Structure 1
Amino acid sequence: MSEQDLRATFDAVASQYADVRPGYPDELFDELVAVTGIGPDSELLEIGPGTGQATVPLAARGFAITAVELGGAMARLARKNLAAYPRAHVVQAPVEDADLPLHAFDLVYAATSLHWVPEAVRSRRPHDLLRQGGHLAAIYSEHVSDESGDAFFLASQEIYRTATEQPHPRADAHGGSPDDEPRLPRVSDLRPEHLDPDLFEPVGFRVFPIVIRYSAERFAGLVDTFSTTRALPPQARAERLVGLRRLIDHDFGGHLDLRFAMTLTVARAR
């Protein structure tokens, strides 16, 4: 399955995506506002809002937001979630093709989505949309080591090896590593998103660790939203999810405390 096909897989599980994907802490948005200096008159553009996990918190602060979403089901659910915020609206289109005004935005941001923009325009497209001196922010949700052996991660690797394709970078937060000895990154391993240095000057990077408890069923639902899981043939996908539920129920007491680190990279347009 091509990269373009993979990024379209989320639309089939839009409601599930909204329910099981980890949200972003308020402190991250506090930092984003402080570093970029955006205010009441600022215009924001979001790349790939999904169902609005990073849109609603900023819309609730009163910002004007244009959110550009590829998937139709995702866009409809995002509009529903943003109904109470008249200054936020959703455009359904790939951001690289969307009819957007150039040099019109003070902040372009992407939450767990910038890597899906074609590499050739991943820095150039946001730069073209930003006003001079505007900012680009890349937010990611990373599954990180529990610093205690990562027992579940290691125990689940054989289940993930049923995959028939290598994972897209960042697309599958659990398992599927092509390395001989897969491991989870530590918080200290995380680094800023790479952006074209000819177009952007780095101005900030912070990490926000959180812990979320998942039941076996809810964790399987989370994994079912990963693009590499959605890309599997139906039987292989079902076997993966059944295997994970069984492992958690039988060997891990029916639940997992998952460590995530939300990263925020901010850069200023040159």
Structure 2
Amino acid sequence: MQDFRQEINARALIDLEQRRTDSIGLEQRRTWYSPVADVYYNARADYPKELIDRSVALAQLDSDASILEVGCGPGNATVAFAQFGFSMTCIEPNQDFCHLVQQNCDQYPKVTICNTSFEEWELEPKQFNAVLGANAFHWIPPEIRYTKAAEAMCDNGFLILLWNLTPEPKYEVYQVLEEVYQAYAPSFVRYEGAEVQADILRGFGQDILDSNCFKELVVEQTACEVTYSIDNYLKLLSTFRRLQPETKELLFAGLRQKLEKFGDSVQLEFLSAVHVARKAPV
């Protein structure tokens, strides 16, 4: 296991993910998650409440605060922040996600959903106390993401980036599954573990500072464990990568066969984190 981890360069993983998202054009992003939109909200792990509470405290947000959320998806983080009573403008290019987040936030009248991309969104300068991104900011082109976020904030506004890194089975279970991945989906052959995930989070934080748009970065992270049924674990996997139907069928059948040898559930581990940084003076 240690040898395997030593072969992984955390920065290379960040760059690989960035190239993958960069290669997906805006039109593709509008429908990228549509095949799994209905399972995304329930399949993805929740963001830890303690990290959400800390981000609200660090960003000095009171109940009258206004938040711009970039790439809200079906509302996995939106609902948690809406419960504080904030006014929220939520940008999401995927129409299917927009319908879902509207339903999920129906009881929060101060939440407004905009079916557009951050790139196309008409900038409202200095209107928001915070800009929020939950596992979404890496989809925005690097030349836009930080500068436009800073321009949308009030002076002394805050950037809040929430991250749930990839939930993974224990390494001994992954080793059994790797044969199936190699056979049907070689691009899935990637195991990070806590050390590499910590390096990835450090890289995300450094990107914030390197933008020169933000200062006083604070990072909070926690190790998470979740247990999924095999059915729900396979649904979770379907939200991370797109596969052709026939490939997905073969891959999932192979994974199920291997996983059933360990029981009827899968224990997953991952790091969850929040980056909070203050807008730098112009």
Q: TM-score range by the shorter chain?
A: 0.7 to 0.9
The alpha-carbon deviation at position 20 of structure 1 amounts to: 0.8
- How many equivalent pairs are there? 251
Q: Which of 95, 99, 105 in structure 2 is aligned with 1:72?
A: 95
CA contact (8 A) 1:145 1:185 kept: no
Taking structure 2 as the reference length, what is the TM-score of the superposition?
A: 0.82
Q: What is the aligned counterpart of 2:257 among 246, 249, 252? A: 246
CA distances 1:131-175 after superposition (whole Å, capped 9, x unpaired): 1211111111113677xx6112222223233336x5xxxxxxxx4
SS in 2 for 1:3: coil
Matches within 5 A, 1:1-270: 2-4=23-25, 5=28, 8-143=31-166, 150-161=171-182, 162-163=184-185, 166=187, 175-177=188-190, 182-186=191-195, 188-189=198-199, 190-191=201-202, 192-193=204-205, 194-195=207-208, 196-226=210-240, 228=241, 230=242, 232-249=243-260, 251-270=261-280
Separation in 2 of the partners of 1:6 and 1:63?
27
Q: Is the 8 A contact 2:30 2:94 kept in 1?
A: no
Question: How far apart, CA to CA, are the structure 2 residues paired with 1:121 and 1:176?
Answer: 31
The 1-side partners of 2:245 and 2:29 are apart by: 15
Task: Tell me by how many angstroms 1:201 deviates.
Answer: 0.9
| 1:7 CA displacement | 7.1
CA–CA distance in structure 2, aligned partners of residues 13 and 107 of structure 1: 29
What SS does structure 1 have at the residue aligned with 2:88? strand
| TM superposition score normalised by structure 1 | 0.86
Question: Which structure 2 segments of 5+ residues have no match?
Answer: 1-19
The one-letter amino acid of 2:250's match is E
Give the helix-richer structure, 1 or 2: 2
Residue identity in the other structure for 2:270 = F
The one-letter code of the counterpart of 1:156 is L
- Counterparts of 1:127 and 1:49 in 2: how far apart (Å)? 18
Q: Any conservation in 1 of the 2:198–2:271 contact (CA below 8 Å)?
A: no
Q: Conserved in 1, the CA contact under 8 Å of 2:30 and 2:95?
A: no
Runs of at least 5 residues in structure 1 that lack an aligned partner in the other structure:
167-174
Contact 1:216 / 1:256 at 8 angstroms: preserved in 2?
yes
Distance change in 2, residues 1:116/1:248 (3 Å): same
